[in-house]
Amino acid sequence: MNKSISLQTNGQGLYEITDEVIALVSESKTIDGLCTVFVQHTSASLIIQENADSSARRDLEGWLNAFINQIDFDFTHTAEGSDDMPSHIKAALTAVSLSIPIAHGRMQLGTWQGIYLWEHRRGRHARSVVVNVR
Amino acid sequence: MNKSISLQTNGQGLYEITDEVIALVSESKTIDGLCTVFVQHTSASLIIQENADSSARRDLEGWLNAFINQIDFDFTHTAEGSDDMPSHIKAALTAVSLSIPIAHGRMQLGTWQGIYLWEHRRGRHARSVVVNVR
Amino acid sequence: MNKSISLQTNGQGLYEITDEVIALVSESKTIDGLCTVFVQHTSASLIIQENADSSARRDLEGWLNAFINQIDFDFTHTAEGSDDMPSHIKAALTAVSLSIPIAHGRMQLGTWQGIYLWEHRRGRHARSVVVNVR
């Protein structure tokens, strides 16, 4: 089963999609299997991170920007905006696909794990994530 | 097939789980398939790295700490200890899931590839890794 | 189905393998499934990145070298050359496996996504990538 999740982002940050993925796994009626989440973009990525304390996600976002800003490098690929090339780098350093085992009809996420789309660009963007359940 | 590997870590570093994963693939009697390894935590991660020379793994660990220390950023998420937020960052930059093809009954790891849990926290932690073979 | 793609690299950079992977997916006649790409090395990695403008890939390569050079750390694992340990780090921070959903007989890559082997070493290297289609 392949289904898409569409998101409208509004600036940099983590957008949780755990409930949408859980719903698709449930809909597939898969008891034992594998759920793969794939983002169809190169300036947004995927991350599984702590779902308990939002300060962890804010620090993650703030730190990643600080890190990119502190590396001294002159980009040549600037036609799509000053936040485009840093976004490609952030996407390259995080994940484009994640695979989560399914057992007893449930994704085997740990207690504190949530699934997020990580938007790296400023402004509004339409994002698409494909969820594959087998 | 889904099976769990439980580890007790004792400080930062790479803990090899290659033999445990090979044993589970063998137990599953899968001839052609896919083995997915998934870590159920957000302050430890997974890595496939050189299994030959331990100095490579020590440099990896030392370098990652040096890198995080050299980025100037004040964390706000400090309630769980000063090593918690750096651990989330390290986990975000490495892997939560790895998928390795199985052919002729064997995982298709390269000659020098070993599978490791990468513990990012100090102190002792109970860690769980789910191995899915299909 | 498991098939290997062999590449001869000639220095650092991104080597596109999208067409080779598409051909293997097509050959497998899979309508709905999952394509997993796995690199059998620890000093080269995989990346899905923008396939439109080569300046984005050059910036990615240049930035990654600038980043590694700007972190102050003395490597001890130097027996295999001064570019070996930086290559292991780059591989650790990018991907060893990528999984792409297949629907209607086609990999669900986004419009601007290409699949690349990322060679991190200087010199010439024979590289092997395993493509698993299920």
Q: Which of B80, B76, B4 is nearest to B43 (CA)?
A: B80
Question: What does the alpha-carbon distance between residue A130 and residue A128 come to, in Å, rounded to a whole number?
Answer: 7
Q: What confidence score (pLDDT) does residue C1 get?
A: 92
Give Cβ neighbours of residue A68 (< 8 Å, ≥ 6 apart). A86, A89, A90
Q: What confidence score (pLDDT) does residue C63 get?
A: 98
Q: Percent of chain C having pLDDT more than 70?
A: 100
The pLDDT confidence band at residue A66, using thresholds 50, 70 and 90, is very high
The pLDDT confidence band at residue C8, using thresholds 50, 70 and 90, is very high
Min distance C130 CA to chain A CA atoms (Å): 17
Q: What is the pLDDT of residues C16-26, one digit of tens each?
A: 999 999 999 99
Q: Kindly list the residues from chain A whose CB atom is less than 8 angstroms away from the CB atom of residue C98.
A: 96-97
DSSP 8-state assignment for residue C76: S
Q: What is the pLDDT of residues A89-113, one digit of tens each?
A: 999 999 999 999 999 999 999 999 9
Q: What confidence score (pLDDT) does residue A4 get?
A: 97
Q: What is the pLDDT of residues C29-49, one digit of tens each?
A: 999 999 999 999 999 999 999
Min distance B117 CA to chain C CA atoms (Å): 12
Q: Is this structure's pTM higher than 0.90?
A: yes
Q: Do B55 and C73 touch (CB under 8 A)?
A: no
Number of cross-chain residue pairs from B and C with Cβ atoms under 8 Å apart: 88
Q: What confidence score (pLDDT) does residue B30 get?
A: 97
C contact chains, 3+ CB pairs < 8 A: A, B
The pLDDT confidence band at residue C7, using thresholds 50, 70 and 90, is very high
| Tokens read off for C104 | 């209607």
Question: What does the alpha-carbon distance between residue B51 and residue B118 come to, in Å, rounded to a whole number?
Answer: 14
The pLDDT confidence band at residue A37, using thresholds 50, 70 and 90, is very high
**DSSP secondary structure string, A48-63?**
EEE-S-HHHHHHHHHH
> Residues of A at the B interface (Cβ-Cβ below 8 Å)?
32-34, 47-50, 53, 55-56, 58-60, 62-64, 66-67, 70, 93-95, 98-103, 108-113, 134
Q: In what order do the strands lie in the sheet with B13-16?
A: B13-16, B113-119, B44-50
Segment C119-123 shows an average pLDDT of: 96
Q: Kindly list the residues from chain C whose CB atom is less than 8 angstroms away from the CB atom of residue A82.
A: none
* Packing angle, helices B54-70 and B84-93, rounded to 10: 120
Q: Kindly list the residues from chain B whose CB atom is less than 8 angstroms away from the CB atom of residue A47.
A: 92
Q: Do A2 and C67 touch (CB under 8 A)?
A: no
Give the chain B residue whose CA is nearest to the CA of A106.
Answer: B2
Residues B102/B2, Cβ–Cβ less than 8 Å = no
Cα C93–Cα C118–Cα B113 angle in degrees, nearest 5: 65
Spans in chain B with pLDDT lower than 50: none
Q: Kindly list the residues from chain B whose CB atom is less than 8 angstroms away from the CB atom of residue C1.
A: 32
What residue spans of B45-118 are helical by DSSP H?
54-70, 84-93
Question: What does the alpha-carbon distance between residue A62 and residue A13 come to, in Å, rounded to a whole number?
Answer: 9
Supply the ipTM of this predicted assembly: 0.96
Residues C42/B57, Cβ–Cβ less than 8 Å = no
What residue spans of chain A are helical by DSSP H?
18-28, 54-70, 84-93
Q: What confidence score (pLDDT) does residue C66 get?
A: 98
Min distance C3 CA to chain A CA atoms (Å): 21
Residue B44, CA atoms < 13 Å, CB-side half-sphere: 27
Question: In whole numbers, what is the pLDDT of chain C averaged over residues?
Answer: 97
Min distance C107 CA to chain A CA atoms (Å): 11
Q: What is the pLDDT of residues A78-95, one digit of tens each?
A: 999 999 999 999 999 999
Q: Which of B56, B66, B90 is nearest to C73 (CA)?
A: B66
Give Cα separations from C127 to B114, C70, C121 (angstroms). Answer: 17, 28, 11
Give the SS3 label for residue B25: helix
Q: What confidence score (pLDDT) does residue A65 get?
A: 97
Give the SS3 label for residue A14: strand
Cα B20–Cα B92–Cα A104 angle in degrees, nearest 5: 50
